[in-house]
Amino acid sequence: MNKQVIVEKFQKFFGAAGKTVVIVSAMLVGFGISEALNAYKKNREKEVSIMPPTRSIEQTSIATNERGELLIIDRNTGKFAIYSDSIGTAIFNLYAGRMYANMNSK
């Protein structure tokens, strides 16, 4: 065999093998990314699904300020959250509707 034929066979074999290696590598990388994404989603679902404890009225103060905003204050830590007046109105309407329905159902 001459040198040219050997080089052509070498290139032909490793050209096909190279394509196979690239395809298999891409499949493995895709599988690895898929598994990593699934593991991330499972961990995220666990974090999101944990409900914080319910606070009682003894632990919480509720107030409004001069702009009509709703303030919910944690008495233990002093941390507070401020909600716009539309949130306070929505909460009031929700409870008022429930109380009205309870009064009329009896």
Residue 88, Cβ density class (10 Å: 0-12 exposed, 13-18 middle, ≥19 buried) = middle
Task: Output the CA angle 15-23-19, nearest 5 degrees.
Answer: 5
- pLDDT tens-place string over residues 38-83: 988 887 766 665 777 888 889 999 998 888 899 999 998 999 999 9
Task: Indicate the pTM of the whole model.
Answer: 0.45
